[in-house]
Chains A and B, each alone.
Chain A
Amino acid sequence: MFQNRKEGFALALPAALFIGILFLLPVGILLSEAFQLDGGWSLQGYIDFISKPLNQTVFLRTLKLGFLVAAVSAVIGYASAFCIVNLDPKSRGRIFGMVVLPLMISPVARTYAWIVILGRTGIVNDAIIGLGLSDTPIRILFTETAVFLGLLQLFLPLMIISLVSSMENLPRDAISAARVLGANWLQVFTKIILPLTKEGLVMGGTLVFTGSLTAYITPAILGGAKVLMLETLLYQKVSVSNDYVSASIIATILIAMCFGTNLLLKRIATARE
């Protein structure tokens, strides 16, 4: 540790100033605009916003999809992560690499694939008609199911990565001991695995949940105007109706949800048993 405080401060200052002035300041002004109406401070904008049924639907849908994606990715994540940590080191590295791989690829490309799979003439509809389950294609694209699948594929790797790294130090002997003593897998999970991997679950959950709340491309491509989420609603407010007040209200809600989730889940992770 060097003692020259001024020198250290001067080295760190440019980065903080850059983000403070070019990033946080404009965002701060934007958020404050949501509380201003007719020149004074007021919450009226929020009350008007929340009282509209469409806005309520979009808000609740965003929350619902966020929860669902986080919950389902936790279930798949635990199963896959547990299998991954029990592999031999060589195939473990290979499989882990394949899980991480999608994160490096453009979300536009990742989402576009679902059009080919879920569209009217897509693979799923071909299969449904081929099997005689329906005579006409069913609509899957532009439904909540499509958005859910797209988000799950986008964020599942983050959950698996978080869980794998928290399972690294899981005591193998404790699990086999519990099994030998007659515990079933559910008991092993709730009594041993869950308490020891809580931190990874919380971290993965935060990433997946906030990621789903703030995803734009997936609801835009797979949901369209039929399945609006907060991000696509915000975009529509600005580009279609020039409604900047609603836009900054949505922005405030999104940021509050992201920070809220971060704080809440961090609390849970550090809370004592």
Chain B
Amino acid sequence: MTEKWTSRLILGLTLIFLIGPFLIIIIAGLSAGQSLAFPPDGISLKWYLKVFEIESFRDSFILSMALAIFGTLIALALGVPAAYALNRYEIPYAETIKTIVAAPIIVPGIIVGLALLRYLVLPIGLTVTLALFFAHTALVLPYAVRVVSSSMTNLRSDMEEAAVLLGCTRLSAFFKVVLPNIKGGVLAAFILGFVTSFNQVPVSLFLSGPGVRTLPIDMLAYMEITYDPSVAALSALLAFLSVGIVFLAEKFLGFSRYV
């Protein structure tokens, strides 16, 4: 009996440590006062509403959304064929290709941002937006390859071979047989990539210019000048957004099977 209560105590404390801060942020954003405090000075929704009126937040939200959606789509367009090739073909230099594709996970993001700024943006004149787009795509690509690969290993290859024997081309066999079977994995990879890109900070630190800033970078900059509860409110809204996406994905897809 004591063991059961010890277990509850340990889990309770761990969860308070992990989740408690969010509850505090959500409540601090509900303040009616002018500065960030807990417990808040009165309750109102004004900071949650003010977030939508701050123009720079609106612009950077759109940029972050666009980067996360298109970056992940391109990463899938590159990653699905690569995952397919690594699973189904015996290709030369397979290990080298795997190492290259996994590299963005290990290399610290801040270094990537600095390198792209110094050697692509400054000398060649590549726009910051395009550099951000490349960096976010590269960052998501390893996850795309990994998640799609793992959903492909469970799929037996004789079905495709049968389709080819029955007259399909390799390409149409892929679209008719393989893709319908791995679409859950592809969707899971998209969601994981989207969340990774949207929340990414270090890569984007050096890749910001006039009018071009991702949302998390914009929040960091805003925090430095003001101490009002709007960042708390925005943080809470973003937390609801990502938790909502993941919750729906889990419910309809069994997201955690793939990740």
Check A22 against B141 for contact (C-beta < 8 Å). no
Asked if A220 is at the interface of the complex by the 8 Å CB criterion, the answer is yes
Quote the shortest CB–CB distance from A80 to chain B (angstroms). 5
Among A2-10, A42-50, A136-144, A265-273, the one that faces the other chain is A2-10
A80 near B10: Cβ-Cβ < 8 Å: yes
* Cα A124 to Cα B93 with chains together (Å): 56
User: Does B157 reach chain A (CB closer than 8 Å)?
Assistant: yes
Q: Which of B89-104 contact A (CB under 8 A)?
A: 89-94, 96-97, 100-101, 103-104
Chain A CB within 8 A of B19 CB: yes
Query: Contact between B11 and A83 (Cβ–Cβ < 8 Å)?
Result: yes
The stretch of B45-53, B75-83, B182-190 that contacts the partner chain? B75-83
Q: How many A-B residue pairs have CB under 8 A?
A: 246
Binds B, one of A112-120, A166-174, A188-196: A112-120
Q: Which residues on A sit within 8 Å (CB–CB) of B216?
A: 106-108, 217
Give the shortest distance, in Å, between A82 (CB) and chain B (any CB). 8
Asked whether, in the complex, the Cβ of A12 is within 8 Å of the Cβ of B115, the reply is no
For A116, list chain B residues within 8 Å (CB).
24-25, 28, 36-38, 232
Beta-carbon contact of B18 and A105 below 8 Å: no
- For the complex, what is the distance from the CA of A11 to the CA of B202, rounded to whole Å? 31
Q: State A4–B81 Cα separation when bound (angstroms).
A: 15
Task: Categorize the interface residue count of chain B.
Answer: 35 or more
Q: Does B154 contact A (CB under 8 A)?
A: no
CB <8 Å contact, B114 and A113: no
Complex CA–CA separation, A4 to B85 (angstroms) = 10
Stretch from A25-33, A52-60, A63-71, A197-205 forming part of the interface with B: A25-33
B73 within 8 A of A: no
Given that A19-B138, A23-B104, A255-B108 are known contacts, is A112 also in contact with B14, CB under 8 Å in the complex? no
Q: Does B69 contact A (CB under 8 A)?
A: no
Q: Does A101 contact B (CB under 8 A)?
A: yes
Most buried by B among A98, A116, A160, A234: A116
Bound complex: CA A6 to CA B84 (Å):
14
B residues near A152, Cβ cutoff 8 Å: 17
CB-based contact B101/A19 at 8 Å: yes
B238 in the interface (beta carbon within 8 A):
yes
A156 touches B17 (CB 8 A): yes
Asked whether A240 is an interface residue with its Cβ less than 8 Å from the other chain, the reply is no
The answer to whether B232 touches A112 (Cβ under 8 A) is: yes
Give, as a whole number of angstroms, the nearest-CB distance from A114 to chain B: 7
Contact A109:B239 (CB < 8 A) given known A23-B103, A235-B205: yes
16 contacts between A and B (CB under 8 A): A8-B85, A12-B81, A12-B94, A19-B138, A26-B118, A87-B7, A105-B199, A106-B198, A108-B216, A112-B231, A117-B24, A153-B18, A216-B205, A217-B201, A254-B108, A258-B107
Q: Nearest 5 CB-CB pairs, A to B? A: A8-B89, A109-B235, A113-B21, A11-B85, A26-B115
Residues of A within 8 A of B (CB): 1-5, 7-9, 11-16, 18-20, 22-27, 29-30, 76, 79-80, 83-84, 86-87, 95, 97-102, 104-110, 112-117, 119, 121-123, 152-153, 156-157, 160, 210, 213-214, 216-217, 220-221, 231, 234-235, 238, 244, 247, 251, 254-255, 258-259, 262
Contacts of B177 in A (CB 8 A): none
Q: Does the CB pair A123–B38 fall under 8 Å?
A: yes
Q: Mark B24-38, 1 if CB is under 8 A from A, else 0.
A: 110010000000111
Chain A nearest CB: distance from B82 CB in Å? 4
Task: Determine the main DSSP class of B at the interface with A.
Answer: helix
Identify which of A1, A113, A255 gathers the most chain B CB atoms within 10 Å of its CB.
A113
Tell whether, in the assembled complex, residue B103 and residue A19 are in contact, meaning their CB atoms are under 8 Å apart: yes
Residue B193, interface by CB 8 Å: no
Q: Which residues of B contact A100 (CB under 8 A)?
A: 256
Given the contacts A30-B119, A214-B109, A216-B201, A8 and B91 also touching, CB distance less than 8 Å: yes
**Option from A5, A16, A160 in Cβ contact (under 8 Å) with B101:** A16
A98 with B19: CB separation less than 8 A: yes
Closest residue of B by beta carbon distance from A247: B114
Beyond the given A110-B21, A238-B206, please list 10 additional residue pairs across the A-B interface where CB-CB is below 8 A: A5-B92, A11-B85, A18-B137, A19-B103, A26-B118, A79-B10, A108-B219, A116-B24, A217-B202, A235-B205
Q: For residue A259, which residues in chain B have a CB less than 8 angstroms away from its CB?
A: 106
- Give B148 Cβ to nearest chain A Cβ, in Å: 11
Give the distance in Å from the alpha carbon of A151 to the alpha carbon of B116 in the complex.
27
